């Protein structure tokens, strides 16, 4: 084992690069996305198509609910004994000729990967899609180290060429239509040519032509992993294009970055997830490319395998008895495709890593709710429950969102100066704690509310109460309250 061991606190020297500006709250970040009608139309079409495919794929499996329950049980058991499984994984990877690195946080993971790339002398790496490398900001870190990163998936290429942010776990460019992607390729991919058509076959061919030489000359590849099989030290990656398999086989050095939550105990467990993940992500019975690699084999594949195991808040989530269920997530994106909030805002308002309902849970669980942006995410939901209904490992996302909202409220209680909302709630609690105060407040409040109404409706309440009427009208109170009517007619 190299680098740090689990639980090591990284030194300040691991914090490289400029300090990013604070992210805005979800509501503020979502406003420009809501105004982008083309993006909303693209997302609506993409999520509707995926919903239909996923529902059909699940319906044709007679034991779908049994598979979901098995997936839930396997992940829960793995998480409850995670330390033992990680030690077994490290031992198996090392015995197979690989090297395991432990990273307590994103800064340490960036430092480890950047150091490994520098040690090879490479100035360019090819990279397969990985939410985990996006989580640690690896592309920017390598760029600062003078290393060019080549994304190899068509959607990831489109995001990178457009200097854009990904919006979907499965297809990062779901917010762009084919015409936009074709225009990007015409401008930035010399092999595409000015007459590139916007059909999928032509776009895939242009991407292959652009990447072929880069694959052949690449000395280093960076990937993620969908699963880590502890008993054999095997890394498993599912994909639909074949670009990740090229990354796994051609370069001399392979660096795989994976969260510690990706561990499954045995190969028997993989039988369940190889049925659940394709049906819940793309609506396929089987993923076109399922790659698994164990250590190093002389004369076949990479000469060096490095596995970087990332914590970055996962043990914090594991310590939360309610929230730890979110670590079951197998990154299928099914919850995104049924979420009415995500369909209208896209993934970018959730932050740079985890979009959609699972992002509204995972980000505050792993980062905490101290920042305004992270504290706003549990409220980015209607709590309709559709995400829980489709989750292949039965994560009750609405229950966790309510749990996290409670954590947000508790964190605000500890502030020396209460927030305006908290001050208002305390005032209401004091008023409603005494019948005479409550009746007086109702009488005066109703009088003022009727003065603010027009045509029986209040379009805008003053001050903080105006948040309520930003998206809805409030009926004016009647001239007589129910209590007053009751006292008058029953006296």
**Both tokens assigned to 181:** 């992607």
Reported as a single tens digit per residue, the pLDDT across 21-35 is 688 999 999 999 999
Q: Bridge partners of 100?
A: 307
- Residue 1 near residue 101, CB atoms below 8 Å: yes
| Least confident interval from 46-55, 177-186, 393-402 | 177-186
∠ at Cα 165 (162, 167), nearest 5°?
A: 120
- DSSP, res 323: G
CA distance 238 to 285: 13
> Closest Cα to residue 378, out of 353, 397, 352, 354?
397
Q: Mean per-residue pLDDT for 402-415?
A: 87
Reported as a single tens digit per residue, the pLDDT across 363-382 is 999 999 999 999 999 999 99
The 3-state DSSP class for residue 171 equals coil
Residue 11 has pLDDT above 70, yes or no: no
CA distance 125 to 148: 6
Residue 479 has pLDDT above 90, yes or no: no
CATH classification of 61-312, choosing from 3.40.50.10420, 1.10.10.10, 3.90.480.20, 2.40.50.140? 3.40.50.10420
pLDDT band for position 20 (cuts 50, 70, 90)? low
pLDDT band for position 1 (cuts 50, 70, 90)? very low
Q: Where are the domains of the chain?
A: 61-312, 420-490
Residue 259 has pLDDT above 90, yes or no: yes
Pick the more confident residue, 441 or 466: 441
> Closest Cα to residue 351, out of 223, 342, 394?
342
CA distance 238 to 333: 14
Residue 235 has pLDDT above 80, yes or no: yes
Q: How far is CA 145 from CA 18, 69, 162, in A?
A: 13, 45, 22
285: phi then psi, degrees, rounded to nearest 5: -70, -30
pLDDT of residue 19: 55
pLDDT band for position 343 (cuts 50, 70, 90)? very high
| Least confident interval from 11-20, 273-282, 322-331, 476-485 | 11-20
pLDDT of residue 470: 79
CA atoms within 13 A on the CB side of 303: 6
* Burial annotation 358-367 (CB, 10 A radius, 16+ → b, else e): bbbbbbbbbb
The 3-state DSSP class for residue 342 equals helix
Q: Mean per-residue pLDDT for 401-408?
A: 95
CA atoms within 13 A on the CB side of 338: 21
CA distance 253 to 152: 16
Q: Bridge partners of 258?
A: 309
Q: How far is CA 208 from CA 129, 157, 169, 360, 414, in A?
A: 16, 11, 22, 35, 55
Chain-wide mean pLDDT for the chain? 88
The 3-state DSSP class for residue 440 equals helix
Q: Mean per-residue pLDDT for 185-211?
A: 83
Reported as a single tens digit per residue, the pLDDT across 272-318 is 999 999 999 999 999 889 999 999 998 888 999 999 999 999 999 99
CA distance 359 to 166: 13
Reported as a single tens digit per residue, the pLDDT across 208-229 is 888 888 888 899 999 999 999 9
CA distance 196 to 210: 13
CA distance 354 to 125: 24
Residue by residue, DSSP assigns 346-396 as -SGGG-SS--HHHHHHHHHHHH-S-SHHHHHGGGS-----HHHHH-TT---
Q: How far is CA 131 from CA 252, 331, 396, 444, in A?
A: 23, 9, 22, 54
Residue 351 has pLDDT above 80, yes or no: yes
Percent of the chain with pLDDT over 70: 95
């Amino acid at each position: 084992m190299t680098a740090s061991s689990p639980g090591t606190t990284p030194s300040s020297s691991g914090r490289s690069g400029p300090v990013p500006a604070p992210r805005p709250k979800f509501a503020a970040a979502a406003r420009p996305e809501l105004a982008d009608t083309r993006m909303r139309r693209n997302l609506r079409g993409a999520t509707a198509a995926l919903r239909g495919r996923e529902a059909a794929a699940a319906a044709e499996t007679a034991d779908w609910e049994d598979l979901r329950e098995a997936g839930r049980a396997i992940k829960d058991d793995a998480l409850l004994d995670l330390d033992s499984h990680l030690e077994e994984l490290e031992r198996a990877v090392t015995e197979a000729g690989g090297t395991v690195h432990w990273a307590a946080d994103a800064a340490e993971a960036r430092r480890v990967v950047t150091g490994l790339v520098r040690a090879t002398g490479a100035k360019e790496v090819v990279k397969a899609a990985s939410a985990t490398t996006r989580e640690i900001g690896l592309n920017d870190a390598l760029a600062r180290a003078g290393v060019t990163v080549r994304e190899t998936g068509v959607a990831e290429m489109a995001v990178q060429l457009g200097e854009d942010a990904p919006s979907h776990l499965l297809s990062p460019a779901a917010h762009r239509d084919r015409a936009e992607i074709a225009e990007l390729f015409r401008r930035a991919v010399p092999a595409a040519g000015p007459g590139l058509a916007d059909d999928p076959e032509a776009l895939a061919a242009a991407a292959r032509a652009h990447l072929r030489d880069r694959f052949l000359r690449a000395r280093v590849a960076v990937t993620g992993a969908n699963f880590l099989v502890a008993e054999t030290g095997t890394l498993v990656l599912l994909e639909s294009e074949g670009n990740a398999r090229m990354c796994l086989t051609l370069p001399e050095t392979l660096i795989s970055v994976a969260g510690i939550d990706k561990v499954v105990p045995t190969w028997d467990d993989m039988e369940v997830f190889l049925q659940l993940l394709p049906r819940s992500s793309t609506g396929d019975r089987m993923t076109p490319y399922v790659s698994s690699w164990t250590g190093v084999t002389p004369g076949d594949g990479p000469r060096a395998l490095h596995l970087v195991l990332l914590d970055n808040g996962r043990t914090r989530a594991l310590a939360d008895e309610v929230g730890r269920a979110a670590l079951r997530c197998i990154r299928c994106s099914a919850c995104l495709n049924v979420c009415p909030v995500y369909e209208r805002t896209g993934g970018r308002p959730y932050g740079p890593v985890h979009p959609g309902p699972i992002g509204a849970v995972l980000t505050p669980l792993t980062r905490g709710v101290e920042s305004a942006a992270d504290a706003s995410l549990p409220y980015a939901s209607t709590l309709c429950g559709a995400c829980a209904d489709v989750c292949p490992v039965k994560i009750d996302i609405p229950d966790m969102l309510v749990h996290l909202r409670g954590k947000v409220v508790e964190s605000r209680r500890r502030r020396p100066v209460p927030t305006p909302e908290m001050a208002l709630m305390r005032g209401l609690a004091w008023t409603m704690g005494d019948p005479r105060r409550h009746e007086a407040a109702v009488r005066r409040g109703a009088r003022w509310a009727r003065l603010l109404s027009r045509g029986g409706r209040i379009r805008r309440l003053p001050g903080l109460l105006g948040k309520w009427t930003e998206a809805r009208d409030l009926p004016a109170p009647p001239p007589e309250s129910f209590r007053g009517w009751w006292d008058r007619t029953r006296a």
